[in-house]
């Protein structure tokens, strides 16, 4: 009967089918028989080198260097001389044994890390002996190499990616580097590129013998992009040396393009200290320094009162709002009573009568107090006056983020009428209440980069371009990203103020900033500042500040220098700014005496004063 | 008192003697050979995992070994049970195993997505493995009753209902692989007189199913139309009485089925199911993603060559390139380490084993024991075909173990149980 045979037929049929398939796989298939000795596959990522970083002139700032992680595969370890090993690696016995134990607990088969980022030289000596230690091997990695040890604040740094940052989309793996701060963070994606994978064929002794299936399943890495910065490495380096032993910041911008030429903060750190085995130790030193704050970028994050340079903006707004004309004169008697029993001091001599230009180059408090009173009180209400004034300032990029391509920054502060309504109640305040704003003290706060930016707007006679740090944009990107941001001031008003600023350097408060053959326009500032010391409001030495641009008629550089507790503007900030301008425009500095004075000058004693616990005097 | 004792003893001894001679020793030999070969390979796959204590209950090999020892010591007791004990209690066992399947939804352990296990004192027990035995028993009991005639639709429906209950409960776990095994009873039904047209229909549908996946359903329909038309003309010549209607209906069914396969495949199946079929049919050759397992398995087997790399020397096996190497993919280890010789030997051992059971089953005069033995053979065949076929890249990936060989206590226990019940029936076939 046919029924009895059906299942048997199936069984016998399957038997033949399977034997046939086994024959084709094991005996006749050239592909599998060729693989007969080497059938294991190992997957390895291929990393594109992290993108290099150049300055605006093509000077290499950041490159890559090989470092070596010492890895171990516990399965392959054979008895070895532990003492020799730990001496060679300069690691304590306890630490070494602990790491080894951890590695064994993690996996016998998979590699674990023993020591991270051993430098090339240290590795070389150990490499000769590594045959004595089966199971241990070096894994090459690329770390950053800071060819020029400058601009650590704006370059940022890289470190190993954290487990919680890894997800499927970003495709990071443990041990890979990620940009943490500055340029490294902003442009992480283009600097990183895209990793690929190679599958390797291994033989039965686990040796790699070639690509798996001729690389048919490999994925190619996408190479990273090199980055050209707007920074001028020489100028940056010069600025950093000028701010040595001082605290503060320098921001230099090319007004016509918005490109940042230098962004200096002091104190800073050597970026190379964050590479290699000592990284974590060095990093915690930087983080824990809460007094000098080396990781705090004073150029971007420090909000100071702008001081006298702010008078230039008030002058422009006064002209635009027709509160003053260039010819308007105000009388100053070493200051003036702006209201009953309230006297604002000024260093103009008794009985002087200043017009606008003279008001600027003598930095006359009286002149700008009266201008500001006019701005606020001539409006329908003081509230409208303040809001109109704020509107002007916002157009200069104040009171908000500028939108540059670094991950940190501060908004600064420009008060509006609501702010004063809350503070003084509605209708209970007027121009005299908030008179300090006239001379850049008061409630107004700006960061150095915002000041450099409005200086650039003045230099451009009415517009600024968003400051930025990457130069290698395509023309299309440039056109869309970097449009002219116009202020509400008509161009003719700028000429008067710029003339005033020119006179500041020629005959005013910053004669020290004069450079032979270059017309510099600037404005000094001496900013009063207070801190809480033992729960008491204490005044410290004034901040020294200077804004400038040059040449006057065809501005190539706009600069802001801020030196904390440097006393008056002409003392530190103006000379430093002047040296920077000279260096940038001529390539050399001829005033060696001034250069040496600035390079060698130190304010460290000044900074120690409030910490000493002893009574101290300021502004010496 | 002494005399009664002596009498009983004599009686027992004579039975034993007889029983030992009546046993199917070839099957027992094949059984022991398969299990030991399996354990050797489980040991090899797990070798790289730190130290292995063969006698340690905690290690996979140890567990398997102790279960085997348990089977050899305890299960022979089954041989002394009267054969009709099973026949009488078929429905009770069947009911109990249904309860155990239902109980999974309350007390079951979920391992990798399927709630298929009870966890009892460190052992995980898979009730669907035992449901196979009870289903075989109950079907045997049903078919052996004198009234039953599976040529009658109602009776057939009753048998199918009995099979579908445990099957449905297993699908719900969800464990489609184990549920598939119940279909092995289909072979039993055919043996017991099921209309052969069901077999042709099944084969035909399977062919259309695969063709539809490979080609376009529209194309299949057109070519089906022509085929059936010519076949009709051909049949008409020989037997002019043939009705047109039945051909039209069968053609309609073909088209409907073809399109519904297309629909089910694209809308009902999940991507992983589709992938498995696509890989087998060679529609997608993504060897890195879903096809990776099969590709690695084929490399492992292919790399074994004629003699194999030898015990413990499989690099694929050591490198953990094939997943589930001690369970579902154990055949790839065998292929790699024992080569063409070893794997062909295993295939032949299985074939012999199944054929041996079938041969003995046909000797039964009682329907009950024949049906059970047949079901036992069918189960082994389905497992063997699907598992080895999958490992060789001939059958879509279905996660069911290779009987007696794969690591897994429930599977070994259940198949051993069935073996001893089969041995019981076989040894006592003349008694009943």
pLDDT at position A145 is: 86
Q: In this structure, what token pair is assigned to residue B275?
A: 């992938």
Pairwise CB contact (< 8 Å): A36 & B304: yes
Kindly report the pTM of this predicted structure: 0.58
B124 touches chain A (CB under 8 A): no
**Last residue in a domain, options A229, A245, A271:** A229
pLDDT at A32: 61
Determine the pLDDT at residue A170.
74
**CA angle at residue B190 from B184 to B194, to 5 degrees?**
130
3-state helix/strand/coil string of A557-570: EEEEEEECCCCCCC
Least confident of A494-498, A536-540, B204-208: B204-208
| C-alpha distance from residue A128 to each of A113, A137, B254, B378 (Å) | 20, 11, 74, 64
Same domain as A52, residue A82: no
* Residue given tokens 């082994």 in the structure block: B380
A504 contacts: CB under 8 Å, gap ≥ 6: A360, A361, A363, A510, A521, A522, A523, A524
Q: Is B9 a residue whose pLDDT tops 80?
A: no
CB contact under 8 A, B335 and A26: yes
> Is position A221 within any domain?
yes
Please give the Cα distance from A539 to A518 (Å, whole number).
37
Using CA atoms, how far residue A373 sits from A333, A370, B2, in Å, is 18, 5, 133
**CA dist A358 → A9, A326, A361, A510 (Å):** 114, 10, 5, 14
| Separation of alpha carbons A78 and A83, rounded Å | 15
Q: Please report how many Cα atoms fall inside a 13 Å half-sphere around the Cα of residue A243, on the Cβ side.
A: 35
Is residue A146 classed as helix, strand or coil in its secondary structure?
strand
The residue to which tokens 């020799």 are assigned: A84
Q: How many CB atoms lie within 10 A of CB B204?
A: 15
Domain ranges for chain B, please list them: 25-194+279-427, 202-268
**Residue A101: how many CB atoms within 10 A of its CB?**
11
Decide if A105 is inside a domain.
Answer: yes
Question: Is A175 in the same domain as A123?
Answer: no
- Which of the listed residues A229, A252, A267 is the one where a domain comes to its end? A229
Residues A446, A543: Cα–Cα separation, whole Å: 13
CB pairs under 8 A between A and B: 124
pLDDT at residue number A74: 81
Q: pLDDT, tens digit, for every residue of B338-397?
A: 989 999 999 999 999 999 999 999 988 888 989 999 999 999 999 999 999 988 888 877
Domain harbouring A212, CATH code: 3.90.1310.10
Question: In this structure, what are the phi and psi dihedrals at residue A468, rounded to the nearest 5 degrees?
Answer: -155, 165
Helix axes B409-427, B367-391, angle to 10 degrees: 150
User: pLDDT class for A36, splitting at 50, 70, 90?
Assistant: very low
Contacts of B351 in chain A (CB under 8 A): 11-12, 14-15
Same domain, A498 and A423: yes
Chain A residues closer than 8 Å to B347 by CB: 15, 18-19, 22
**Does residue A608 lie in a domain region?**
yes
Crossing angle of helices B153-171 and B127-144, rounded to 10°: 170
Q: Answer whether A178's CB lies under 8 Å from A159's CB.
A: yes
Q: What's chain A's average pLDDT? A: 85
Same domain membership, residue A309 and residue A211: no
Domain assignment of residue A261, yes or no: yes
Q: Which two three-digit tokens encode residue B104?
A: 């999974």
> Which of A2, A4, A202 is facing B362, going by the closest CB pair?
A4
pLDDT at A205 over 60: no
B355 part of contact set with chain A, CB < 8 Å: yes
Per the DSSP assignment, residues forming a β-bridge with A498 are none
∠ CA A471-A472-A477, rounded to 5°: 95
Spatial CB neighbours of A59, under 8 Å, sequence gap ≥ 6: A148, A233, A234
Between chains, do A29 and B305 touch, taking CB under 8 Å as contact?
Answer: no
State residue B6's pLDDT score: 63
Q: Are residues A434 and A558 in the same domain?
A: yes
pLDDT value of position B29: 94
Query: Is B394 in Cβ contact with A21 (below 8 Å)?
Result: yes
d(CA A255, CA A549): 9
Q: Are residues A331 and A434 in the same domain?
A: yes
| A218 and A246 fall within a common domain | no
Indicate whether A194 and A333 sit together in one domain.
no
**Is residue A464 classed as helix, strand or coil in its secondary structure?**
strand
Residue A36, domain member (yes or no): no
pLDDT digit string (tens) for B56-71?
Answer: 666 778 888 989 999 9
Q: Report whether A537 contacts A561 (CB < 8 A).
A: no
Examine the domain organization and report whether A365 and A412 are in the same domain. Answer: yes
ipTM of the modeled complex:
0.83
Tens of pLDDT, residue by residue over A279-311, are: 878 888 888 888 888 888 898 998 889 989 999
pLDDT of residue B286: 46
Strand partners, A540: A529
CA-CA-CA-CA torsion sign (A300, A306, A309, A311): positive
Encode pLDDT of B307-336 as tens digits: 887 777 665 665 556 667 778 888 988 998
Q: Which pLDDT belongs to residue A562?
A: 93
Q: What is the pLDDT of residues A240-292, one digit of tens each?
A: 999 988 999 999 999 999 999 999 998 888 888 888 777 878 888 888 888 88
Facing A10 at nearest CB: one of B48, B347, B381: B381
Question: Could you tell me if residue A104 is inside a domain?
Answer: yes
Q: How many domains does chain A have?
A: 3
Report the DSSP beta bridge partners of residue A352.
A332
The Cβ of residue A167 has, within 10 Å, a number of other Cβ atoms equal to 8
Q: Test A25 with B301 for CB contact under 8 angstroms.
A: yes
pLDDT above 70: percentage of residues in chain A: 94
Please name the member of B288, B298, B358 whose beta carbon is closest to the beta carbon of A7. Answer: B358
Find out whether A573 and A566 touch, Cβ atoms under 8 Å. Answer: yes
Domain shared by A204 and A241, yes or no: no
Query: Which of A4, A31, A75 is nearest residue B191 as measured by Cβ atoms?
Result: A4
Asked if B289 reaches chain A (Cβ–Cβ under 8 Å), the answer is: no
Q: Which residue has the higher pLDDT, B332 or A610?
A: B332
**What are the tokens at A298?**
């004073």
Contact residues for B358 (Cβ-Cβ < 8 A; gap 6+): A7, A8, A11, B373, B374, B377
Based on the fold, state whether residues A84 and A218 are members of the same structural domain.
no
Inside any domain, residue A121: yes
With 0-12 / 13-18 / 19 or more C-beta atoms within 10 angstroms meaning exposed / middle / buried, residue B195 is middle
**Co-location of A171 and A208 in the same domain:** yes
Minimum mean pLDDT range among A91-105, A214-228, A265-279, B336-350: A214-228
Which of A6, A75, A108 has its CB closest to that of B190? Answer: A6
Judge whether A25 lies within some domain.
no
Interacting residues of B283 by C-beta distance below 8 A, sequence separation 6+: B213, B214, B277
Q: Phi, psi at residue B29, to the nearest 5°?
A: -60, -45
Is there a contact between B327 and B333 (Cβ–Cβ < 8 Å)? Answer: no
Range B153-162 average pLDDT: 89
* Candidates A21, A26, A109; nearest CB to B306: A26
Q: Check: CB of residue B291 under 8 Å from CB of residue B284.
A: yes
Find chain A residues with C-beta within 8 A of B336's C-beta.
Answer: 39
Q: Which residue has the tokens 């903060």?
A: A265
Query: Omega before A267 cis (within 30°)?
Result: yes
The distance of Cα B62 from the centroid of its chain, to the nearest Å, equals: 25
Task: Give the least confident one: A228-242, B180-194, B217-231, B387-401.
Answer: B217-231
Task: Please say whether the beta carbons of A249 and A580 come within 8 A.
Answer: no
Most confident of the ranges A333-342, A365-374, B194-203, B248-257: A365-374
Q: Name the nearest CA neighbour of A38 among A273, A202, A232, A283.
A: A202
Summarize pLDDT for B269-294 with one digit per residue, the tens: 666 666 666 665 555 544 444 556 77
Model confidence at A100, pLDDT cuts 50, 70, 90, reads confident
Burial of residue B48 (CB within 10 Å: 0-12, 13-18, 19+) is: middle
Q: How far is CA A268 from the centre of its chain?
A: 11
B306 contacts A36? CB cut-off 8 A: no
| pLDDT, tens digit (0-9, with 9 covering 90-100), for A130-161 | 777 878 888 777 788 888 888 888 898 888 88
User: Which domain, by its residues, includes A130?
Assistant: 66-147
Q: How far is the first Cα of chain A from the last one, in angstroms, to the nearest whole number?
A: 121
3-state secondary structure of B397: coil
Say yes or no: B216 contacts chain A, CB-CB below 8 A: no
Q: By mean pLDDT, which of A346-355, B84-93, B208-217 is the weakest?
A: B208-217
Mean pLDDT, range A93-110, rounded to an integer: 80
- Give the residue from A386, A257, A309, A312 showing the smallest Cα distance to A570: A309
Residues of chain B in contact with residue A15, where contact means CB-CB under 8 angstroms, are: 347-348, 350-351
pLDDT of A458 higher than 50: yes
């Amino acid at each position: 009967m046919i029924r009895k045979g059906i299942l048997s037929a199936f069984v016998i049929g399957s038997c033949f089918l399977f034997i046939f398939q086994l024959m084709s796989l094991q005996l006749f298939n050239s592909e599998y028989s060729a693989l007969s000795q080497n059938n294991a596959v190992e997957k390895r990522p291929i990393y594109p080198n992290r993108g290099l970083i150049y300055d605006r002139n093509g000077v290499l700032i950041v490159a890559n260097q090989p470092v070596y992680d010492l890895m171990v595969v516990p399965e392959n370890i054979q008895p070895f001389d532990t003492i020799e090993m730990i001496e060679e690696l300069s690691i304590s016995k306890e630490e070494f044994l602990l790491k080894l134990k951890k590695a064994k607990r993690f996996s016998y088969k998979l590699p674990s890390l023993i020591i991270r980022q051993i430098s090339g030289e240290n590795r070389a000596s150990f490499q000769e002996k590594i045959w004595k230690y089966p199971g241990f091997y070096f894994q090459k990695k690329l770390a950053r190499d800071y060819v020029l040890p400058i601009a650590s604040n704006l370059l940022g740094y890289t470190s190993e990616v954290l487990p919680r940052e890894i997800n499927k989309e970003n495709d990071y793996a443990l041990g890979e580097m990620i940009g943490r701060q500055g340029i490294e963070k902003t442009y992480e994606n283009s600097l990183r590129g895209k990793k690929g994978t190679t599958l390797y064929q291994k033989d039965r002794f686990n040796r790699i013998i070639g690509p798996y299936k001729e690389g048919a399943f490999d994925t190619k890495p996408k190479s990273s992009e090199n980055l050209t910065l707007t920074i001028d490495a020489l100028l940056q380096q010069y600025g950093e040396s000028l701010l040595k032993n001082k605290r503060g910041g320098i921001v230099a911008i090319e007004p016509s393009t918005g490109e940042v030429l230098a962004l200096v903060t002091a104190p800073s750190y050597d970026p190379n200290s964050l590479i290699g085995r000592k990284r974590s130790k060095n990093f915690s030193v930087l983080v824990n320094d809460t007094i000098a704050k080396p990781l705090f970028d004073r150029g971007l994050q420090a909000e100071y009162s702008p001081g006298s340079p702010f008078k230039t903006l008030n002058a422009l707004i006064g002209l635009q709002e027709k509160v003053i004309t260039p010819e308007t004169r105000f009388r100053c008697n070493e200051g003036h009573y702006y209201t009953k029993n309230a006297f604002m001091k000024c260093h103009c001599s008794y009985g002087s009568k200043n017009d606008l230009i003279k008001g600027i180059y003598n930095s006359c408090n009286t002149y700008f107090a009266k201008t500001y009173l006019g701005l606020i009180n001539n409006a329908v209400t003081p509230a409208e006056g303040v809001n109109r004034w704020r509107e002007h300032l916002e157009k200069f990029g104040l009171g908000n983020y500028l939108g540059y391509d670094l991950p940190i920054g501060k908004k600064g502060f420009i008060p509006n009428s609501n702010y004063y309504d809350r503070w003084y109640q509605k209708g209970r305040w007027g121009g005299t209440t908030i008179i300090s704003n006239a001379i850049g003290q008061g409630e107004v706060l700006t960061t150095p980069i915002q000041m450099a930016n409005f200086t650039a707007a003045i230099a451009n006679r009415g517009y600024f371009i968003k400051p930025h740090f990457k130069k290698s944009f395509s023309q299309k990107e440039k056109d869309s990203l970097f449009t002219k941001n116009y202020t509400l001031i008509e161009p003719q008003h700028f000429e008067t103020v710029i003339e005033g600023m020119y006179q500041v350097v020629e005959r005013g408060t910053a004669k020290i900033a004069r450079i032979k053959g270059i017309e510099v326009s600037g404005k000094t500032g001496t900013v009063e500042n207070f801190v809480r010391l033992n729960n008491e409001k204490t005044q410290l030495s004034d901040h020294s500040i200077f804004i400038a641009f040059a040449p006057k008629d065809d501005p190539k550089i706009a600069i802001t220098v801020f030196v904390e507790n440097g006393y008056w503007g002409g003392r530190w900030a103006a000379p430093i700014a002047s040296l920077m301008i000279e260096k940038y425009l001529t390539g050399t500095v001829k005033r060696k005496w001034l250069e040496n004075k600035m390079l060698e000058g130190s304010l460290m004693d000044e900074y120690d004063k409030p910490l000493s616990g002893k009574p101290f005097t300021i502004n010496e | 008192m002494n005399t009664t004792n002596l009498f009983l003893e004599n009686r027992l001894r004579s039975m034993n003697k007889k029983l030992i001679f009546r046993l199917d020793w070839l099957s027992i030999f094949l059984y022991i050979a398969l299990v030991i070969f399996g354990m050797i390979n489980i040991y090899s796959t797990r070798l790289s995992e730190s130290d292995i204590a063969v006698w340690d209950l905690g290690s996979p090999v140890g567990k398997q070994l102790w279960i085997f020892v348990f089977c050899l010591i305890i299960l022979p007791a089954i041989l002394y049970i009267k054969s009709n004990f099973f026949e009488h209690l078929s429905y009770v066992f069947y009911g109990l195993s249904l309860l155990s399947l239902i109980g999974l939804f309350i007390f079951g352990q979920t391992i990798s997505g399927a709630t298929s296990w009870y966890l009892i004192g460190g052992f995980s027990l898979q009730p669907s493995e035992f449901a196979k035995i009870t289903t075989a028993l109950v079907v045997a009991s049903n078919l052996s009753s004198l009234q039953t005639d599976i040529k009658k639709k109602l009776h057939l429906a009753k048998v199918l209902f009995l099979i579908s209950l445990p099957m449905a409960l297993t699908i719900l776990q969800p464990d489609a692989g184990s549920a598939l095994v119940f279909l092995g009873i289909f072979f039993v039904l055919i043996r017991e007189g099921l209309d052969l047209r069901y077999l042709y229909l099944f084969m035909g549908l399977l062919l259309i199913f695969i063709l539809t996946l490979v080609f376009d359903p529209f194309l299949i329909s057109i070519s089906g139309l022509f085929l059936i038309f010519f076949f009709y003309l051909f049949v008409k010549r020989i037997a002019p009485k043939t009705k047109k209607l039945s051909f039209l209906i069968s053609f309609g069914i073909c088209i409907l089925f073809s399109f519904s396969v297309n629909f089910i495949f694209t809308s009902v199946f999940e991507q992983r199911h589709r992938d498995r079929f696509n890989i087998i049919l060679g529609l997608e050759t993504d060897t890195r993603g879903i096809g990776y397992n099969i590709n690695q398995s084929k490399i492992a087997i292919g790399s074994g060559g004629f003699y194999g790399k030898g015990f413990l020397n499989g690099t694929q096996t050591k490198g953990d390139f094939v997943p589930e190497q001690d369970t579902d993919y154990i055949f790839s280890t065998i292929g790699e380490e024992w080569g063409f010789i070893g794997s062909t030997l295993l295939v032949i051992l299985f074939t012999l084993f199944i054929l041996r059971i079938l041969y003995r089953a046909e000797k039964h005069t009682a329907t009950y024991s024949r049906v059970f033995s047949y079901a036992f053979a069918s189960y082994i065949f389905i497992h063997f075909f699907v598992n080895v076929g999958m490992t060789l890249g001939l059958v879509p990936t279905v996660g069911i173990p290779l009987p007696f060989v794969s690591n897994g206590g429930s599977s070994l226990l259940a198949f051993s149980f069935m073996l001893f019940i089969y041995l019981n029936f076989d040894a006592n076939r003349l008694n009943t």
